[in-house]
Amino acid sequence: MTLVAGIDSSTQACKVTVRDLATGAVVREGKASHPPETVVDPEVWWDALLTAVRRAGGLDDVAAVSVSGQQHTPIFLGAGGAVVGPSPLWNDTGSHPHMVALNEELGRDEWIRRTGLPLTLSDTVTKLRWLRDEHPDSVRRTAAVAVVHDWLTWRLMGHGPGGGDLDELVTDRSEASGTAYWSGETEEYTTDLFEHAFGRSALLPRVLKPLERAGLTGAGIPGVPAGIPVGIGSGDNAAAALALNLAEGDAVLSLGTSGVVYARSARPVQDYAGYVCSYADATGDHLPLVATLNAARNLDLGAALLGCTHAELSDLALQAPAGAEGLTLLPYFQGERTPDLPHARGSLLDASLSNFTRPNFARAVFEGTLASQVAMLDTLRDCGVHPGRLILIGGAGQSPAVQHVLAQMVDIPVLVPELDEYVTKGSAMQAGSALTGAFPEWSAAMSPLAPVPLEPRIAGQHVAAQVTMGYREEARTRA
């Protein structure tokens, strides 16, 4: 049996899955947590990777490995290869004023025209401006800028502090497309935009083509054999799309730390309304995407407040009618990215003595969370991307209440794949391609949700709540 390993260095944890190259079946896996802070020392991600590898039983019998991970988050490296300072994560809201400044200086439409991205506080380029404005000495000491997956791949190839070798940094199209200094039209960096934000030039990772190999693993890495192929890797959503065999006309709703809706497209898009980000995928196509900051953790909060398990929260929600008798949650607990409301906070509206019950509150948590996600489908349609079916993934997607409420809110078939770690699966497929030169053909079994009557009142209440809070002019959700 030939084994390959896929690594997912996500916001919350690092996961390692070892799979059979012939079938994609999971042989073993390991996991290590990441800290909850949104500005962290990157070394914690390398330490977590090594811990997850150890908990997966090591990779001594593995023939190839590849890394995928959280997009956007930058690593600032000095000339000797050491990290210059802490990294602000993609979901750190401290870069919002720096995003505003970049849009004011060049105009929002210029960023969309040049990169396909309506600038958000998550994009790498806004973190560059944050560093320039808040830590100018760190900018002077920075010789190269990579994102998390690039840096971990580089470390797996034996590079690191004291060794230099910055010219060995590589990335893929999906990660480059999330920086806001790369063009999906030309497939090249827009280095003038990088320099405008950062105030100077720096070395950027070489962008590899799909199926290219990043290199070979270095010596002396605990649990990792030297000299095995390292796949190109990708951003987390591109890896999941690869694992799902996403076809043009398919859309994915991923409920994780963030909520993400994306679809496969043969062409890049430009959304001058300012919501859809034109990312690239792992195959050579494109992955137009819309994201929210608040998703599965809303359910964590709801369960904690009601003192129940997630299963009990789902059961409670299914006891309540659609619309929760008017009780409405706007779940902007961390601010929000779509719509652009970085300083907003969660709001519970229209509570009364009769409707403020445990079942209705549980239902409002699910409805508020999903209303934010479903609204993003409309933004894709406005860009000419018309999904014919919706694939629901992420741990929260297994919840019966999530599945039921979602089916009440969308007018296209919803499919739920078998439970798997799709980011590590896609990454393992890239490891396989580094070994054989082609992606392995692994199946992704899916089950359709039973159709139920649509309940437009759910989205209608969400819109009304946005109007009440003064958010509607910035919001995109429709009744």
Q: How far apart are CA 469 and CA 474, in angstroms?
A: 11
Give the contacts of 8 (CB within 8 A, at least 6 positions apart).
14, 15, 17, 68, 69, 236, 239, 421, 423, 424, 427
> Using an 8 Å Cβ cutoff, are 123 and 99 in contact?
yes
**Which of the residues 8, 172, 236, 250 is marked catalytic?**
236
265-272 CB contacts, 8 Å cutoff, 24+ apart:
265/385, 268/116, 268/184, 268/185, 269/116, 269/383, 269/384, 269/385, 270/112, 270/113, 270/116, 270/383, 271/112, 271/118, 271/379, 271/382, 271/383, 272/109, 272/112
* Residues 53, 59 contacting (CB under 8 angstroms): yes
Burial of residue 397 (number of CB atoms within 10 Å: 0-12, 13-18, 19+): buried
- The answer for 72, left when phi > 0, alpha when psi is -120 to 50, beta otherwise, is left
Cα–Cα distance, 70 to 101 (Å, whole number): 25
Active site residue 236: yes
Name residue, tokens 């629901």.
392
The CA R_g of the chain, rounded to the nearest whole Å, is 22
C-beta neighbour count of 1 within 10 angstroms: 10
Distance CA 476, CA 165 (A): 45
State how far the Cα of 461 lies from the Cα of 48, in Å rounded to an integer: 42
Three-state DSSP class for 313?
helix
As annotated, the active-site residues are 236
